[in-house]
Amino acid sequence: MQQVSLTWVGRIFSDYAGQILQGTWVTLYATLIGTILGILLGFLIGIIKSTPISKDDNILKKAGLRIAKAVCSIYVEVFRDTPMMVQAMVIYWGIRGFANISSIEGGILVIVLNTGAYMAETVRGGIQSVDPGQREGAAALGMGHLMTMFNVVLPQTFMNILPEVGNMFLTNLKMTSVLNVINTAELYFVAKTASSTTYRYFESYLVIAIVYFVLCFVFARLIDLLEKKLQGKADYELTAEPAETGEEERTDG
């Protein structure tokens, strides 16, 4: 039986400092790029899936939309219904069969596709939760579907789903660990290497657990800050003296 040793924790931190830093960088890099691109993909699919098919559209547009919607649905189902670790193996080795990609590229691709599938449903729900009156208001000003989406509906959707976006970042930060199966040199991979050399399993993994925790904790606070910033000021300033029209003017708010 191996004794748990805190000195070993310190030793692994110092002996593997370079690899831990490198692994942290890869984890962050894969998470940021993967999640941001994944969210964009999720928005794209969410938008396609919530585009109404009007009976006035021409046959080409109708057919195109139907096919696009079907493709999106299949993609969402496949990626939500299989484990990310398995996706990583299938996609990475599948692509390696005919093209040369690095394990980090493969890893990011897996995160993008996985995040996209989950975000697609979140975005669709977010779009549906925007008050229909907002769209009517836009229609009454003569705004078309896309103009309404980009100016009115999607900014509100983004605010609605921001907590879920935060969740996605944290989930991905931790899920990058499964990319070790395709030899992406992220944090988990570093612990695996360290433990196989030192045979100090508890200490090796405790080290990266601490790093993961710090990363996630900082990330969560940054997301809180972003949310506050995007919500804007709770108060507003009057730009001039309100006109003297008595009861019409209220300055509370």
Partner 1 sequence: MGKIVSATYDENMNYIKDGRIVPPVITVKHLVKNFGSHEVLRDLSFMVRPGEVVCVIGSSGSGKSTLLRCINLLETPTKGLIKYKDETKFSDEAGGSSWPVNKYRTKVGMVFQSFNLFNNMTVLQNCMVGTRKVLKKDKKTSYDLAMKYLTKVGMAPYINAKPAQLSGGQKQRVAIARALTMEPEVLLFDEPTSALDPEMVGEVLHVMEELAQEGLTMVIVTHEMAFARDVSTRTIFMDGGLIAEDDIPERLFTQPKNPRTREFLSRFLNSGQIQAAG
Give the footprint of partner 1 on this chain (CB under 8 A).
55-56, 131, 133-134, 136-144, 147, 151-152, 155-156, 159, 232, 235-243, 245, 247-250, 253
Cβ of residue 243: shortest distance to partner 1, in angstroms?
5
Q: Which is nearer to partner 1, 81 or 235 (CB)?
A: 235
Q: Which is nearer to partner 1, 77 or 131 (CB)?
A: 131
- CA dist 125 and 5 (Å) reads 49
Q: Tell me how long the chain is.
A: 253
Cβ of residue 149: shortest distance to partner 1, in angstroms?
12
- CA dist 102 and 81 (Å) reads 26
CA–CA distance from 193 to each of 102, 141, 165, 187 (Å)? 19, 62, 32, 10
- 3-state secondary structure string across 227-241: HHHHHCCCCCCCCCC
Q: Which is nearer to partner 1, 88 or 149 (CB)?
A: 149
Q: Which is nearer to partner 1, 157 or 184 (CB)?
A: 157
Q: Which is nearer to partner 1, 98 or 236 (CB)?
A: 236
Cβ of residue 51: shortest distance to partner 1, in angstroms?
17
Q: Which is nearer to partner 1, 99 or 140 (CB)?
A: 140
Cβ of residue 153: shortest distance to partner 1, in angstroms?
9
- Positive or negative torsion for Cα 80, 81, 87, 90: negative
Cβ of residue 3: shortest distance to partner 1, in angstroms?
59
Cβ of residue 245: shortest distance to partner 1, in angstroms?
6
Q: Which is nearer to partner 1, 52 or 253 (CB)?
A: 253
Cβ of residue 104: shortest distance to partner 1, in angstroms?
37
